[in-house]
Amino acid sequence: MAERVYLDWNATAPLRPAARAAMATAMDAVGNPSSVHAEGRAARAILEQARECVAAAVGAQPRDVIFTSGGSEANATALSRAVEHAGRGCDAAIASAIEHVSVLAGGDFSAVTRFDAGPDGVASIAALQEALDAAVAKGAKAPLVALMLANNETGAIQPVRPAADLVHAAGGLLHVDAVQALGKMPFDIKDLGADLVAVSAHKIGGPMGVGALVLGGEQVNVRGSRFGGGQERNRRGGTENLIGIAGFGAAVAEAMRDRDGENQRLLALRQRLEQGLRAIAPETIIFGGHVPRVANTLQFAVRGIRAQTALIALDLAGIAVSSGSACSSGTMKFSEVVRAMGYPLEVAEGAVRLSMGWGTSETDIDRFLDAWRTLAQPLLKTREIAA
């Protein structure tokens, strides 16, 4: 039997050998990173080395990296009342309609005002300005705005810097979910104008269950942990996940070292995919196909083919893909991102996401296209007969 083809790297990437090795080394560390004896200091050294790797990857200072249990916790923390701007909390929450569910859930805010994205999958700066104006008119003095850097479904890169300028002019903070951008595109927290940035380990070949919230400067802080303990500079209580953090640091270092060359390779594979899909069905919709995207991601749909049918058939053919975010696609719902882009329900119900990584080959792409052709052509022929 042929090996399975894995095209769901945005959900989680395989563990990198370097991350596995770093975790194995950390497993032998006896001390608690908060202890002052030699064993504790050795554990602390592992922790701080990983912190430096994460900080360097996003252009931040190591002291501004707060380790979390993953990207979702980092997003939820950013939308919490613990976040302060120049000593005061934020008083309104605004987010693009294409954000991850962990952002749209709102954290500590009772409601999140959403601003639209266009059919190209890019959030509207004009809509953000309207949302900010409305919040200020209602008395908001420090709105918190969330705008991701690269969308987790379409891969579309968002206008973060222009958004930051608008948010700061309104006296607010900008939180950037960079979970799908880390290791896939260059960015610097200062150049983005971001006040908070969320990243995750398992999207780049680190272990599941670890991520970070990175602060953008001295004017932003996360005050006192809710859970006690003085870890992470009193910003997140609980003994740090040393083994996971060690793996995170190693994965970040390797992802950054290979990033540019790997992106060129993945871009060529994505172009091969798009050409193949359109050869099978010229009416294929490539979401965000005309705007800059991270190289590894492709989301598409063909009217008349439901994602639920496609995912099951492809899985039986030995190919793993998804219909959208791994945090919501287990329910086999339609893509909320595609709906937010203004597409009708029948299109959203057909959205299929392919995402690639360092282990993806041309053979994998060709096997997917063969399986898609086998699935799609009879369904499309049936549709033509019915029409």
User: What are the tens digits of pLDDT across the range 111-138?
Assistant: 999 999 999 999 999 999 999 999 999 9
pLDDT at position 234 is 87
Please tell me if the domain spanning 5-13+259-386 has the same topology as the one spanning 17-253: no
pLDDT tens-digit series, residues 15-38: 999 999 999 999 999 999 999 999
| Sign of the CA dihedral with 52 first, then 54, 55, and 58 last | positive
Q: Alpha helices, DSSP H only, in the chain?
A: 17-27, 38-58, 71-78, 101-104, 125-137, 160-169, 189-192, 231-234, 242-280, 307-316, 336-340, 345-348, 362-386
Kindly indicate the confidence band of residue 2, based on its pLDDT and cuts at 50, 70 and 90: confident
Mean pLDDT of 53-63: 97
Q: Using CA of residue 56, residue 237, residue 35, residue 233, what is the dihedral sign?
A: positive
Check pLDDT > 50 for residue 329: no
Contacts 24+ apart (CB under 8 A), 185-189: 185/149, 185/150, 185/157, 185/259, 185/263, 185/294, 186/259, 187/58, 187/59, 187/149, 188/58, 188/59, 189/58, 189/59, 189/60, 189/214, 189/216
Q: 263: which residues sit within 8 A by CB, 6+ positions away?
A: 184, 185, 294, 295, 296
Q: Which residues are catalytic, by number?
A: 327
Find the DSSP H helices in 318-387. Answer: 336-340, 345-348, 362-386
Question: How sure is the predictor about 377, in pLDDT bands with cuts at 50, 70 and 90?
Answer: confident
Whether 226 shows a pLDDT value over 90: the answer reads no
Choice between 327 and 333, residue whose per-residue pLDDT is larger: 333
pLDDT at 281 over 70: yes
328, pLDDT greater than 80? no
Q: How far apart are CA 288 and CA 117, in angstroms?
A: 11
CATH architecture group of domain 5-13+259-386 = Alpha-Beta Complex (3.90)
To the nearest 10°, report the CA torsion of 7, 9, 11, 16. Answer: 140
Length of the chain: 387
- Residues near 60 by beta carbon (within 8 Å), at least 6 away in sequence: 54, 189, 197, 214, 215, 216
Which residue, among 191, 107, 123, has the nearest Cα to 131 in the 3D structure? 123
Q: Are strands 196-200 and 173-177 parallel, antiparallel or unpaired?
A: parallel
Is residue 379 over pLDDT 90?
no
pLDDT the model gives residue 20: 98
Position 318 scores a pLDDT of: 98
Tokens of 355: 């995402």
CA distance 211 to 124: 28
Q: Which fold has domain 17-253?
A: Aspartate Aminotransferase; domain 2 (3.40.640)
SS3 (DSSP) at 252: helix
Asked if 80 and 90 touch (Cβ cutoff 8 Å), the reply is: no
Cβ contacts of residue 11 below 8 Å, gap of 6+? 322, 326, 329, 355
**Residue 387 confidence (pLDDT) above 60:** no
Please report the pLDDT score of residue 383 as a whole number: 62
> In sequence order, what are the residues at sequence separation of 6 or more whose Cβ sits closer than 8 angstroms to the Cβ of residue 309?
375, 379
Assess whether pLDDT exceeds 80 at residue 332.
Answer: no
- Predicted local distance difference test score (pLDDT) of residue 341: 96
> Tell me: the pLDDT tens digits for 284-296?
999 999 999 999 9
Q: Using an 8 Å Cβ cutoff, are 333 and 387 in contact?
A: no
- Give domain limits for the chain: 5-13+259-386, 17-253
Average pLDDT over residues 216-222: 87
Neighbours of 82 (CB within 10 A): 18
pLDDT surpassing 90 at residue 200: yes
